[in-house]
Amino acid sequence: MSYETAVAQMYALGHELAQTPSHKFDLAHMRVLLSAMGHPENRFPSVLVAGTNGKGSTAATLASILQASGLKTGLYTSPHLVRINERIRLTGEAIGDDDFAMIHDVVDRTAERLVGEGDLPWHPSFFEMLTAMAFEYFARKRPDMVVLEVGMGGRLDATNVVEPRLSIITDIALDHQKYLGETVAEIAREKAGVIRTGGVVVTLPQLPDANDVIGNAILDAGARAVNAVPYVPPVSPGSPSYVIADGGSVWSRYPLEVMGKQILVESPLVGRHQLRNLALAIAAAEELHDQDLANQAANGAANQGTVRITPETIARGIRETRWPGRFQVVPAAGDDPEYVLDVAHNPAGAWALRSTLSDAYRNGREITLVFGVMRDKAMQEVTEILFPIARHVIVTHANNPRSASPEEIRQAAARVASGTDIEVGEDVASALERARSLAGPRGLVVVTGSIYIVGEAMRTLGIRI
């Protein structure tokens, strides 16, 4: 099977949220598939990361720390910006086309056989297939650790079949209400499904309703909570020391005591919300280090696991983290304006982007906004947060059946202040061209909303992942 055929067959299954909830959310079916594959999910150690916002940033940072510590590290994330391969990475490199095609063939043949024999009622979904492929790939490559980002929710997500060394829960907010529940408490119950009996969970204080749910889940499971608060630096309002210009890009930089030693945190992931994600990754790395020290002491023998993590490798891993499309700055060049690309598809993400723009561009740069979003998102709330900060807004849509049309976005933004100039771009490329014309060489173009909008913008601008 060719790579192109494998990818086409994956997309023929439909988008990962296009299945009915009963088809997507059934771990029993996922376990049947993995059992027939010889349980690849049990052949590597893992960390499971759930949450609404920041789980990808946290997972990418933790994976980078582990890799900087000399560990062969896998990373599984979703969705992707440009190519599906981005979701499955080993030591920072995306799975190759040949491996993708070969492993897809293995998983697909297994699934077809199980359906034919009546062991599965239907073919696995897009996300179930891709998760099984990731497990098979990592099982073959034998990494020292794999960081797995939950796709959606937690309790019934396809990733939640592993027995992780620890679980991480990032910030919880309203999103995917159709699937997860209408309240923060209901959504938190789904996210808390990654907590294991007698396990370890790394988290931070949340909204009160989420705190109650997570706290009770930890108690009910007899789990141990690791609080990442010691690694969240105090930030005074308006402090310029946390967001600085560095070589044309924007970075976070601050001192922090880690494992009894002060390090300089330098992160390409900027914004005050990212301070919490960095804290979670640091706390998780230290917990993995401590677990292996305890195992080494108990076994009375040298252990070649995560004891290689040090304050220095934590600092280097943070500095070397690559998580594109999250407040990614493309400096102005020639007649092109400066671009900021950031995925902000729910109200919490929109507020985070607005706050980071305020911190990073204190001189009040005039903003031209390119925006598109999926129609199942909280369009009205997001537009009311972001549109007022822009002088010009170009609404557009991605090449995705779930994408809201520009007219739907304009209707959702009806209550936005009349001073905002809203235009329509028929596609992302034309929206970018219009934004470039409006902003001029000294302007600032912010591309945001859906990850698919940001991904198409990166392709159009020739930005490599």
Q: Return the minimum-mean-pLDDT range out of 117-126, 179-188, 201-210.
A: 179-188
Separation CA 252–CA 245 (nearest Å): 9
Domains along the chain with CATH numbers: 3-319 (3.40.1190.10), 328-461 (3.90.190.20)
CA distance 40 to 368: 47
Do β-strands 88-90 and 421-424 pair in parallel, antiparallel, or remain unpaired? unpaired
Q: Are 56 and 293 in contact (CB under 8 A)?
A: no
Residues whose CB falls within 8 Å of the CB of residue 213, separated by 6 or more in sequence, listed in order:
185, 188, 189, 192
Residue 459 region, left (φ>0) first, then alpha (ψ -120 to 50), else beta?
A: alpha
pTM of structure: 0.91
**Which of 46-55, 288-297, 430-439 has the least mean pLDDT?**
288-297
170: left (phi over 0), alpha (psi -120 to 50) or beta: beta
Question: What pLDDT is recorded for position 248?
Answer: 57
What is the tens place of the pLDDT at every residue in 160-194? 999 999 999 999 876 655 556 568 888 898 899 99
For the segment 411-446, what is each residue's pLDDT rounded down to a tens digit?
A: 888 877 566 789 999 999 999 999 999 999 889 999
pLDDT of 303 reads: 53
Residue with token string 């590290």: 73
* Interhelix angle 126-141/97-116, nearest 10 degrees: 120
Cα–Cα distance for residue pair 31/383, rounded to 1 Å: 41
Question: Within a 10 A sphere around the Cβ of 113, how many other Cβ atoms?
Answer: 12
Do 128 and 33 form a contact (C-beta atoms < 8 A)?
A: yes
Per-chain mean pLDDT for the chain:
89
The average pLDDT across 225-254 equals: 70
Residue 279 above 90 pLDDT?
Answer: yes
Q: In the prediction, which pLDDT does 22 show?
A: 45
185 neighbors 212 (Cβ within 8 angstroms): yes
Judge whether residue 322 has pLDDT over 80.
yes
More reliable by pLDDT, 367 or 153:
367
Q: Which pLDDT does position 20 carry in this prediction?
A: 43
Tell me the C-alpha distance between 239 and 257, whole Å.
Answer: 20
Residue 465's pLDDT is what? 77
pLDDT exceeds cutoff 70 at 242:
no
What's the whole-number mean pLDDT along residues 209-215? 92
Q: Place 236 in a pLDDT band, splitting at 50, 70 and 90.
A: low
Q: What is the pLDDT of residue 16?
A: 52
Q: How much of the chain exceeds pLDDT 90, in percent?
A: 68
Instruction: Give pLDDT tens digits for 131-144.
Output: 999 999 999 999 99
C-alpha dihedral sign at 90, 96, 99, 102: positive
The DSSP annotation for 295-327 comes to HHHHHTS---SGGG--HHHHHHHHHT---TTSS
Residue 239 pLDDT greater than 50, yes or no: no
Query: What is the mean pLDDT of the segment spanning 228-250?
Result: 65
Dihedral pair phi/psi, residue 366, rounded to 5°: -70, 130
pLDDT for 260 beyond 90: yes
SS3 call for 234 = coil
pLDDT band at residue 240 under the 50/70/90 scheme: very low
On the question of pLDDT at 222 being above 90, the answer is yes
Contact 168, 47 (CB under 8 A): yes
Q: At residue 327, does pLDDT exceed 50? A: yes
Parallel/antiparallel/unpaired status of strands 261-267 and 367-372: unpaired
In this prediction, residue 184 carries a pLDDT of 86
Least trusted range by pLDDT, from 25-39, 150-164, 291-305: 291-305
pLDDT at 18: 43
| Helices and strands counted in the chain (H then E) | 16, 17
pLDDT at 418: 60
Cα distance between residue 339 and residue 361, in whole Å: 12
Element spanning 392, H or E: strand 392-395
Q: State yes or no: pLDDT of 374 exceeds 80.
A: yes
CA distance to 15, 58, 371, 450, per residue, from 403 (Å): 12, 27, 11, 9
Q: How far apart are CA 43 and CA 37, in angstroms?
A: 12
pLDDT band at 154 (very low <50, low <70, confident <90, very high): confident
The CA angle 449-349-419, to the nearest 5 degrees, is 65
Torsions phi, psi for 10 (to 5 deg): -65, -50
Determine the pLDDT at residue 134: 98
In terms of average pLDDT, the best of 215-229, 233-247, 328-342 is 215-229
Supply the pLDDT for residue 361: 78
